[in-house]
Amino acid sequence: MMKSLFKTKKAAVSMDELINYPKDSLGFHLGCFLFNNSCESDPIPEKEDVYRTLLTKEVSNKEEIAMHYYLFGNGDFSFRTLFVMGSGAVFYPHCVAYFYKRYRDGRNALRFYDLDHFRMLHLPLQRIKDAFLIR
Q: What is the DSSP track for 12-71?
A: S--HHHHHTS-TTBHHHHHHHHHHHH-SSSSPPPBHHHHHHHHH-S--SHHHHHHHHHHH
Could you tell me the pTM of the whole model?
A: 0.87
What is each CA distance from 4 to 9, 13, 79, 89, 115, in whole angstroms?
11, 22, 11, 24, 19
pLDDT per residue of the chain (135 residues) written in tens, 0 to 9: 344 445 556 667 888 899 999 999 999 999 999 988 876 766 778 899 999 999 987 889 999 999 999 999 999 999 999 999 999 999 999 999 999 999 999 999 999 989 999 999 999 999 999 999 998
Q: Which helix (H) or strand (E) holds 87?
A: helix 79-91
Sign of CA dihedral 23, 29, 35, 41: negative
Integer Cα distance of 89 and 76 in angstroms? 17
The pLDDT score that the predictor gives to residue 9 is 61
